[in-house]
Amino acid sequence: MKIEHTLHVERRERVGSRYAKRERSVGKLPAVLYGHGQDPMSLTLNAKEAIRLFEQGERVFNIDLSGEGAQAVLLKDIQFDYLGTNVIHVDLARVDMTEEIDSHVVLRFVGEAPGMKRAGAIFMHPMSSLHIRCTVADLPDHIDVSVAELELGATIHARDIALPANIKLESDPDSIIAQIVEAVTEEATGEAAEVAASSAEPEVITKKKEEKEE
């Protein structure tokens, strides 16, 4: 894997929420760099550039720190604001291209599922990323999941995804990646509720039954 992108970074001398807010107001993204036994270092990134690359699925970058030269880093964590919409902070880790890492990789669904041609069919994908383990050099930008044979009622599990031999699945193999289900209509829901209600009604013990038992 060749690192194609370089993040432009600057050292951040002042830390704390107040200073971080100031950095964000001028288009910078606060970050912390750590790993390989070195002290954590506070940095800022170009917010527009960095977030664009993150949204494209990029996870490994070069950074060029004055006095330290270029080095490879891995995006380890992204923090969002309380609404979950804006990126407010990221964690970066120093890495060697040959070391093994755990990472979550974005899933990309490809193909046209035949099950979606049925009326009322709904495509569901509970997972948007897959937990894997591999070397930094083998870390993919995304993992393709073919739905070209997915029929109504069928399910794709994590174990069904074909991964290269040098990538190990860390997610639960039984995790549901995608499935096609049939929409439940209001009529069906109403009928189910009536059945449940009738089965839950208590038995009415009449006076005649009591007399018979006596």
Structure tokens at 123: 């495509």
Q: What pLDDT is stored for residue 145 in this prediction?
A: 94
Convert the pLDDT of each residue in 60-95 to its tens digit: 898 887 666 678 899 988 999 888 888 899 999 998
Give DSSP secondary structure letters for 127-149.
-SEEEEEEEGGG--SEEEEE-TT
Among 149-163, 184-198, 199-213, where is mean pLDDT lowest? 199-213
**28 pLDDT exceeds 80?**
yes
Residues 6+ away with beta carbon under 8 Å from 206? none
Q: What pLDDT is stored for residue 22 in this prediction?
A: 83
CA-CA distance, 7 to 76, in Å (whole number)?
Answer: 15
**199 pLDDT exceeds 90?**
no
Q: Report phi then psi at 146, rounded to 5.
A: -80, 130
Q: Note the residue count of the chain.
A: 214
Q: Is the pTM of this model over 0.85?
A: no
- Computed over every residue of the chain, the mean pLDDT equals 83
Q: What pLDDT is stored for residue 168 in this prediction?
A: 95
Element (H, E) at 46: strand 38-46
Q: How confident is the model at residue 204 (pLDDT cuts 50, 70, 90)?
A: very low
CA-CA distance, 163 to 174, in Å (whole number)?
Answer: 15
Q: Is the dihedral of CA 102, 103, 104, 105 positive or negative?
A: negative
**156 pLDDT exceeds 80?**
yes
Q: What pLDDT is stored for residue 140 in this prediction?
A: 87
CA-CA distance, 20 to 112, in Å (whole number)?
Answer: 45
Quote the DSSP letter at residue 205.
-
Backbone dihedral region of 174: left (phi > 0), alpha (psi from -120 to 50 degrees) or beta? alpha
Q: How confident is the model at residue 211 (pLDDT cuts 50, 70, 90)?
A: very low
Q: What pLDDT is stored for residue 172 in this prediction?
A: 95
Could you tell me if 9 and 45 are in contact, meaning their C-beta atoms sit under 8 angstroms apart?
yes
Convert the pLDDT of each residue in 98-137 to its tens digit: 889 888 888 999 999 999 998 889 999 999 999 999 999 8
**192 pLDDT exceeds 70?**
no
Instruction: Give Rg (Cα) of the chain.
Output: 27
Q: What pLDDT is stored for residue 55 in this prediction?
A: 86
CB-CB neighbours of 106 under 10 Å: 15
Q: What pLDDT is stored for residue 58 in this prediction?
A: 85
CA-CA distance, 189 to 185, in Å (whole number)?
Answer: 6
CA-CA distance, 26 to 196, in Å (whole number)?
Answer: 59
